[in-house]
């Protein structure tokens, strides 16, 4: 990526940090310089191009940092996250017919609902897999509201509300 030596990259990184730095590898130095560039809104190439004066002794570390801040481009007007979130319509995942998730939803939509054992038997799954699928796929992924009802002497019955 660059013809600069590890020592030269360490000089640039030390100037950016304002304290001596000595990463183990050239790649580590480049990564650290790139991180500084991200914070300044500059690419690594911009920083390395501006480092000529620093490396040949014409400019000190303070002057180098100041020159980088001067070259920083003004950012575009930021979009407010609230406005962006309000305008964005969440994309609901599509449920495909004939899948195990569709079968599970069908069982839970019945008026009598379904127990974990009934779903596990119908799907050929272990009980913990059924509970995980309800919590993960149905509640989180599809946003379904699953109610649970426990009657005395009977197993807990799950239903999809609404």
pLDDT tens for 14-73 read 888 888 888 888 888 888 888 888 888 888 888 888 888 888 888 888 888 888 877 555
In a domain, 1, yes or no: no
Single out the residue of 33, 73, 40, 38 nearest to residue 55, CA to CA. 33
Indicate whether 66 and 105 sit together in one domain.
Answer: no
Question: Count of domains in the chain?
Answer: 2
Contact 147, 133 (CB under 8 A): no
In a domain, 18, yes or no: yes
Q: Looking at residue 117, what is its pLDDT?
A: 94
Indicate whether 60 and 14 sit together in one domain.
Answer: yes
Q: Judge whether residue 97 has pLDDT over 90.
A: no
Q: Judge whether residue 114 has pLDDT over 90.
A: yes
Q: Looking at residue 78, what is its pLDDT?
A: 58
**Whole-number average pLDDT of the chain:** 82
Among 30, 52, 71, give the residue marking a domain's end.
71
Indicate whether 64 and 104 sit together in one domain.
Answer: no
In a domain, 82, yes or no: no
Q: How confident is the model at residue 91 (pLDDT cuts 50, 70, 90)?
A: low
CATH code for position 106: 1.10.10.10
Q: Looking at residue 124, what is its pLDDT?
A: 93
Contact 32, 23 (CB under 8 A): yes
Q: Looking at residue 74, what is its pLDDT?
A: 52
**CA 91/CA 72 separation, integer angstroms:** 37
């Amino acid at each position: 990526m660059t013809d600069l030596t590890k020592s030269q990259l360490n000089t640039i990184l030390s100037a950016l940090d304002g304290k001596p730095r000595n990463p183990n590898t050239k790649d580590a130095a480049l990564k650290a310089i790139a991180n500084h560039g991200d914070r300044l809104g500059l690419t690594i190439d911009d920083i390395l191009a501006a480092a000529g004066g620093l490396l040949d002794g014409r400019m000190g570390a303070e002057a180098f940092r100041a020159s980088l801040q001067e070259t920083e481009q003004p950012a575009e007007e930021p979009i407010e996250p609230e406005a962006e979130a309000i305008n964005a319509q969440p994309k609901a995942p599509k449920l495909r017919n004939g899948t195990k998730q569709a079968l599970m939803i069908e069982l839970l939509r019945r008026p009598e609902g379904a127990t974990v054992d009934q779903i596990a038997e119908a799907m050929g799954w272990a009980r913990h897999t059924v509970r995980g699928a309800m919590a993960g796929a149905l509640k989180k992924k599809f946003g379904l509201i699953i109610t649970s009802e426990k009657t005395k002497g009977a197993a807990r019955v799950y239903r999809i509300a609404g």
